[in-house]
Chains A and B, each alone.
Chain A
Amino acid sequence: MVDAARQPRIDVRTYTEVEKVEGFVGNFKVTLREKAKHVLADRCNGCGDCAKVCPVEVPNYFEMNLAPRKAAYVPMSQSVPLIYNIDLDACIHCYKCVEACGPLEAIDFSQEDKLVEEDIGAIIVATGFSHFDPSVMEEYGYSRYPNVITSMEMERLNNSAGPTAGNLIRPSDHKNPKRLAFINCVGSRDKRYNPSCSNFCCMYSIKNAVLLKQMNPDVDITIYYMDIRTPSKGYEEFYDRARELGIHFTQGRPSMITEDKETHNLFVHSEDITLGKVIEEEYDMVMLNQAAIPQPDQDHMSSVLNVAQSPGGWFMEYHPKLRPMDSPTDGIFFAGACQGPKDIPSSVAQGSAAASRASRILNSEKWEIEPTVAVVWPERCSATTRGRACGICAKACPYGAINIFSPEIPAEVVTAKCHGCGACVAECPEDAITQLHYTDAQILAQMRALLADKPEEKILAFRCHWCSYGGADLAGTSHFEYTANERGMRVMCSARMDTDFIYEAYRLGAGAVLYSGCHPQDCHYITGQLIGAKRAERLKKMFERMEMTDGRFRVEWISAAEGDKYARVLNEMQTVLDNMDKDELRAEIERLKPDMEKRLKKFPNVPGVSESMAYSDTLVSAINTQKKEPA
């Protein structure tokens, strides 16, 4: 902590929150909210005279609310930086602190929150984790029985800098407990709350037990556990040491804690798996090892940073094995428990790893980004053809990367600002914009190939690169099997999924079409998904009006963490096709074809499309020849 404050190149901004993140790799613009401390940082010398005279006491979060702090406060005496805060919500405006501060004049009640903009090349997100509140588990009586506490509360009570100066006492009678129990996996590995393991609690409870035992060898300590997990270096040896010290380990998940109303002693009811019987043991105090859970503002941060979350709510890395520190957004990295529960050694290692990933960019003058940007065909823009630029593309662009200077001048894409979602391309009513590497001609040719053979049996699945394609990958990686009739198409964002592609799929006789992208809050392109979703809803209503069989067009938002969902959706779509009579399906395809053709009348005029169609005819016959008579 102190090292960070001393290092001249680190600018520590405490009591500050990230309000907005804009821009792209190498060129982020971050807006910070520097919350008002009502103390001038450059004048406060950390003497604490203000706190001494402050008459107001409120619970201190740092002490797990077991001890008070003043309205003029630092969370702990070793705070870094050592600058006091005046908590205006608690303050009674007696101004004794101002008087005590005297000639330093460090207190300023007029101070307000300040918004500051910073230009940043790369961002490391290390927002950490939060603790599960065990009061929802009524069976353990936390917050009902005074002597059931959390391990974090015990941590403060057992800390020489804590409220009792390290003297562990029972909250009910302030006596030192003699018989103690720790319960592991409270709210973790529990399908009601968090199915996953919190990673560090086994070692954490062993550490606390060892500390207590070393201080007072007479105390009797039992740890209730489901499994003891000690996979890292030195951990198993540490566990051995705990057993040698005489700490008891009972395998079993306690079902209930009851209390003696008189003594406030506690009875832990549990199964002892080793003995194969139900036990009931009496303790003076019970410590609950709460699950590590995402921060309460993790959802909010995820939308500020534009990064996705795994099913448990943690930030999701680009690839769990190959790029564990990278977010899907170039230039934003994760370190520590914000990406999943982690202990201290792993968090430190990840901090270094993320720094190394970020410094690849930060030590370069220039960084390369993908050239899959939008390009306007000026001769097709309504500014040229009708003298009136419609501006739909500029409205669709999530990045303000399209300039419309005047009605007569064709729209212009600012390449450096374009992120390549393709929203403008699909939205342009004149088909005057294309996206490099994802042109209509390319996409059309791919679709033709995928639907060359028995199209009515196929499910053409449009997936966005970042989420649904990742979801499909995860389905495969997890070996969640789904119908092999799926034929996947990949574009960067659901915003690129042009209505023409969907019409063309049905014109070609596709059995079913999936239109899928990220969940609204996860979009890699801010609002790209919203544009895609609006279009998908329009299509859905239209196909309903045409009385297309329900389920032949499906819209689903599937994240890269939802491999199971991808497999399930595809299997459900296969069931829709299986339940249809083959002739009935063929008749429906034929019935809808003329309508699709009508809607596609202008499609061949898009540059490249007629060539793509001509090529695809040759390709389709080659595919079918090959399949009939293997060479």
Chain B
Amino acid sequence: MSEQPNEQNNEELRIGVYVCHCGTNIAGVIDPKEVVKFSEGLPNVVHATDTLYACADSGQRLIKEDIKKHKLNRVIVSACSVRMHEPTFRAAVSEAGLNPFLMEMANIREQCTWAHGHDREGALEKAKDLTASAVAKSQFLTPLDMVDVPVTQKAMVIGGGVAGISASLDLAEQGIKTILVEKEPTIGGVMAQLNKTFPTMDCSI
């Protein structure tokens, strides 16, 4: 398996850019339309638009429809953190037939408007640059497939207190073999040491 990031660029790149308002979380600090206008002038960007909530059904639908309508083969979502919605948008583009790894996010909420609320001008400049950076990366993205790994259908719960016991019982009742590991000579944890417990005042053991 060898990766040639440039070969697939023989195909004409058609990049779509979506700038999210996130209600007022982003649009309260910067004007997303400014970022849209800026993006329209970047190489291979064939479509750019703003959207009130990119992650909402309507936002995702828009992206999916546009992929077909504008024959997009790269999608940039300028919105929140990848830790928040990368799986959402990967799934959305995938439903429209695009490889999920051809979607790239720019974090203009957590790492821009939320962090620079009192520097609107600076935040706008940064949002443009972060969007351009995602566009730049998308130029060299390649389709990738998830790797399947086998699963050992056995669980381990570390700690035999009330949380560990509850987890073990739930797993076991689903038919999953579970090893419950406890460092003390008995399970029960702190709860076993307690007299009655609030608010029902029943016995702890």
Q: Is A448 an interface residue (CB 8 A)?
A: yes
Given contacts A125-B159, A442-B141, contact A631 B40 (CB under 8 A): yes
Q: Tell me, rounded to whole Å, the shortest Cβ–Cβ distance linking A402 to chain B.
A: 14
User: Quick one: closest B residue to A361, CB to CB?
Assistant: B151
> Is B115 in contact with A375, judged by CB distance below 8 angstroms?
no
> Is B41 in contact with A622, judged by CB distance below 8 angstroms?
yes
A61 to B186, CA, bound (A): 12
Q: Is A18 an interface residue (CB 8 A)?
A: yes
Which positions 552-591 of chain A face chain B at CB distance < 8 Å? Answer: 567
Binary per-residue interface labels of chain A (359-393) against chain B in the complex, 1 for a CB within 8 Å, 0 otherwise: 10111111111111101111000000000000000
> Is B176 in contact with A626, judged by CB distance below 8 angstroms?
no
User: Quick one: closest A residue to B144, CB to CB?
Assistant: A371
Given contacts A124-B157, A442-B140, contact A370 B146 (CB under 8 A): yes
> Is A452 in contact with B129, judged by CB distance below 8 angstroms?
yes
A336 to B162, CA, bound (A): 8
Which of chain A's residues have a CB closer than 8 A to the CB of B38? 626-627, 630-631
Given contacts A7-B168, A442-B140, 9 further A-B contacts (CB under 8 A): A13-B182, A15-B182, A155-B195, A211-B196, A235-B198, A352-B167, A362-B174, A442-B5, A480-B115
26 contacts across the A-B interface (CB closer than 8 A): A4-B160, A9-B172, A14-B182, A15-B185, A16-B183, A27-B152, A61-B184, A62-B186, A76-B186, A155-B193, A159-B195, A301-B158, A344-B162, A351-B166, A363-B153, A366-B149, A368-B146, A375-B2, A416-B147, A437-B141, A476-B109, A476-B112, A481-B117, A486-B126, A619-B132, A622-B42
Scoring A121, A446, A485 by chain B CB atoms within 10 A of each residue's CB, the highest score goes to A446
Which of chain B's residues have a CB closer than 8 A to the CB of A27? 149-152
> Is B159 in contact with A442, judged by CB distance below 8 angstroms?
no
Counting from the closest, the 4 A-B pairs by CB-CB distance are A336-B163, A484-B122, A351-B166, A126-B164
Q: Is B56 an interface residue (CB 8 A)?
A: no
Q: Is A524 an interface residue (CB 8 A)?
A: no
> Is A14 in contact with B159, judged by CB distance below 8 angstroms?
no
Number of interface residues of A (CB under 8 A): 157
Number of interface residues of B (CB under 8 A): 106
Binary per-residue interface labels of chain A (1-42) against chain B in the complex, 1 for a CB within 8 Å, 0 otherwise: 101110111111111111000001111101010000100000
Which of chain B's residues have a CB closer than 8 A to the CB of A612? 139-140
> Is A476 in contact with B111, judged by CB distance below 8 angstroms?
yes
Given contacts A128-B163, A336-B161, contact A80 B187 (CB under 8 A): yes
Q: Is B91 an interface residue (CB 8 A)?
A: no
Which positions 476-500 of chain A face chain B at CB distance < 8 Å? Answer: 476-477, 479-490
Q: Is B156 an interface residue (CB 8 A)?
A: yes
Which of chain B's residues have a CB closer than 8 A to the CB of A26? 149-152
Binary per-residue interface labels of chain A (613-631) against chain B in the complex, 1 for a CB within 8 Å, 0 otherwise: 0011011001101110011
User: Quick one: closest A residue to B195, CB to CB?
Assistant: A159
> Is A477 in contact with B114, judged by CB distance below 8 angstroms?
yes
User: Quick one: closest B residue to A438, CB to CB?
Assistant: B137
Given contacts A18-B158, A124-B157, A377-B2, contact A335 B42 (CB under 8 A): no
> Is A362 in contact with B163, judged by CB distance below 8 angstroms?
no
User: Quick one: closest B residue to A129, CB to CB?
Assistant: B190
> Is A618 in contact with B166, judged by CB distance below 8 angstroms?
no
> Is B183 in contact with A15, judged by CB distance below 8 angstroms?
yes
User: Quick one: closest B residue to A348, CB to CB?
Assistant: B166
Which of chain B's residues have a CB closer than 8 A to the CB of A30? 156
Neighbour of A436 across the interface among B142, B157, B201, CB < 8 A = B142
Given contacts A336-B159, A356-B170, contact A367 B198 (CB under 8 A): no
Which of chain B's residues have a CB closer than 8 A to the CB of A125? 158-159
Given contacts A125-B158, A206-B198, A364-B151, contact A335 B193 (CB under 8 A): no
> Is B159 in contact with A121, judged by CB distance below 8 angstroms?
no
